[in-house]
Amino acid sequence: MPVDVRIPQLGESVSEAVIVRWLKADGDLVRADEPLLEIETEKAAMEVVAEAAGRLEIGQPEGAHVAAGAVVGRLTEAAPATGDGAPPAAPRPEPTTVETSPPRETPPAPRRDAEPPALPRRVEPRPPPAESPAPASQEREEQPAAATASSGDGRRPVAEARSDDGAPPAPAAEADVERVPMSQLRRVIAARLVAAQRTAAILTTFNEVDLTELLALRARHRERFRARHDVDLGLVTLFARAVVHALRAVPILNARIDGDDIVHHRRVHLGIAVSTSRGLVVPVVRDADTRSLAQIERALRELTERAREGHLAPQDLRDGTFTITNGGVFGSLLSTPILNPPQSGILGMHKIEQRPVAVDGQVVIRPMMYVALSYDHRLVDGEQAVTFLVRVKEALEDPARILLDV
């Protein structure tokens, strides 16, 4: 019995996807649970797998926009499984030989700009000098005048076409460019970022953090942490705990505006920006305020791997309440991150740089990082934003604050 290939439910507020590519060709035999096609929504890319074994009939082409639940293909002729559980391969047609006669040799067409072939001359008595033929240069001068462009290296001049007003024609407008259609994900990223700047009153405040104590703590316990929990102790994870600590002190940055209402979130669902080949995505570590460092690190590692492989599910990208983005991995020293709507705050991490700073009246070299908080000024006052960023700074410079919640 034929089985329809349907687009799965795409998540909250997402109703359409684009077929990026079919992973199987029309007529291929496939196994149950084998990936058939890759689709992309405004939030993520994902694969659709076969619900049963059979022969694939493709109904919608690559690039088609399809709704959730739409039928895009069909699996028919469910073949009996072979010993390894896979349907038998389709028989290959016997090769055929087609005899062809050797191609005729066609004389090359004469070039338009070539001189006509010279006619054979009769041998006649030499005429007197006065009646001798004009030199070639004089013959050219007697030809109708034409503008020429010389190469300057002794090659034959080439006639240059001109427009009615005598000016040379303009070069082809796009001769040296390449046009590539924007992906669905890139189009949505662009639209959402422009919408964020149009609808929110985005303001950014900055501070700098001395990471001496945090890096020393990480260095002392990193190997034991890895041995105990089978995950690394990442810097973003430590920043995530500092953000959770600061959100407890300034919860308005974990809220959002919905029409004329303010929605306060009881949990911290922390979005972590991840750069992929398709663009920037923000998977969410849910309930980050209740997780241990190891649990945050494990969730973050899994989400990052799936994001870069294009295997994020819609639920991995929704319900975020605050975001962290790390431009420091690309060498950024300072930036102003853009809000991830409808959130009201985003923390930007940057490059760690050894810089001279004054400590207790002495100039010392310390590992310093600029941090930036962009926030929606419609909801968050400047005092609240600065207080939040100071709390993050204090937690990172004195990591015991995170443990003691002070």
Cα–Cα distance measured from residue 364 to residue 361, given in angstroms and rounded to the nearest whole number: 9
Told to judge if 377 belongs to the known catalytic residues of this protein, a careful annotator would answer yes
Q: Which is the catalytic residue, given 229, 265, 311, 377?
A: 377
Give 19's strand partners: 39
Q: Please answer whether residues 225 and 233 qualify as being in contact, where contact means their C-beta atoms are separated by less than 8 angstroms.
A: yes
Upper half-sphere CA count for residue 266 (Cβ side, 13 Å):
0
Q: Which is the catalytic residue, given 165, 381, 398, 405?
A: 381
Query: 307: Cβ–Cβ under 8 A, 6 or more apart, which residues?
Result: 274, 276, 281, 283
* Inter-axis angle of helices 382-397 and 235-249, nearest 10: 130
Query: 115: Cβ–Cβ under 8 A, 6 or more apart, which residues?
Result: none
Letter string b/e over residues 351-377, b meaning 16 or more CB atoms within 10 A of that residue's CB: bbeeeeeeeeeeeeebebbbbbbbbbe
Upper half-sphere CA count for residue 394 (Cβ side, 13 Å):
16
Query: 62: Cβ–Cβ under 8 A, 6 or more apart, which residues?
Result: 19, 20, 21, 22
Any alpha helices (H) in 334-381, and if so which ranges?
A: none
Told to judge if 264 belongs to the known catalytic residues of this protein, a careful annotator would answer no
- C-alpha distances out from residue 104 to 98, 101, 111, Å: 18, 9, 21
- C-alpha distances out from residue 308 to 6, 58, 329, Å: 25, 27, 16
Upper half-sphere CA count for residue 73 (Cβ side, 13 Å):
30
The residues carrying an active-site annotation are: 377, 381
